[in-house]
Amino acid sequence: MTRDRFATRAAIINSAAAIVASHGIAHLGVNALAVAAGCDKVLIYRYFGGLDGVLEALGTERMLWPRVELSVEENGGDGSLAEAVQSLLLEEWAALSGGALMLQSAVSELEAATNSLAPATAEQREEQHAKLIAGLKTEHRVPPYVDLAALIELLSAALTMFALRAAQSSPDRRGAAPSPRFDPAAPAGWRRIEKLLGAMTRALLDADGH
């Protein structure tokens, strides 16, 4: 026993994040969290006041939505607005697909039960997107008839949905996938999505398209 308050506090938060990421927020209980953190459950009540406090700390001290940076056009794009939007979305998709905690917080945002992760996730996402859109608008000329915020929000929502479905179905049908009609998680399906994203952003955003 280290007998260090901040260390055990961090252990509790880390274990909570691990449990939420692997088993979902519904399976986060005081007892299981205590044994995972290697401490007594009474410390959870002492330091956080209960499970809600742990979730609240998770929401403020952890990244629930991927942080995507507006790269200074180092990517292989042609520098157009369409390219920039597409690469941002793909970056977001990659981060989302790689982070189990982000995915679980995204689905927790959809559960009717009142948990403290949902508002934090939504807020982080909105803040991220607002910053990206502002950056895009300064670096590119966006056609006045295009609602860039709505476009990014819609495409991001679709990609989030795909990532969630993929994360749910991948542990099960590992390998023996009967390959349904359209599966964005499979390489072939994902290539179709990439092509579509390119076509859509180009058709909407490129100046010569209008």
- Tell me which amino acid residue 38 is: G
7 binds DNA (CB under 7 A): yes
Residue in 109, 116, 120, 136 binding its own copies, rule: CB under 8 A? 109
209 binds its own copies (CB under 8 A): yes
93 binds its own copies (CB under 8 A): no
- Tell me which amino acid residue 195 is: K
50 binds DNA (CB under 7 A): yes
Residue in 29, 79, 119, 180 binding DNA, rule: CB under 7 A? 29
Among the residue ranges 3-11, 18-26, 93-101, 194-202, the one whose residues contact DNA (CB under 7 A): 3-11
Q: Which of DNA, its own copies, none does residue 40 bind to, with CB < 5 to 8 Å depending on kind?
A: DNA
What is the residue-wise DSSP string for 141-200?
A: ---TT--HHHHHHHHHHHHHHHHHHHHHHTTTSSS-----S--TTSHHHHHHHHHHHHHH
Residue pair 31/87 in contact by the 8 Å Cβ criterion: no
Paired tokens of 149:
């915020």
Q: Which residues bind DNA (CB under 7 A)?
A: 1-5, 7-8, 29-32, 39-43, 45, 50-51
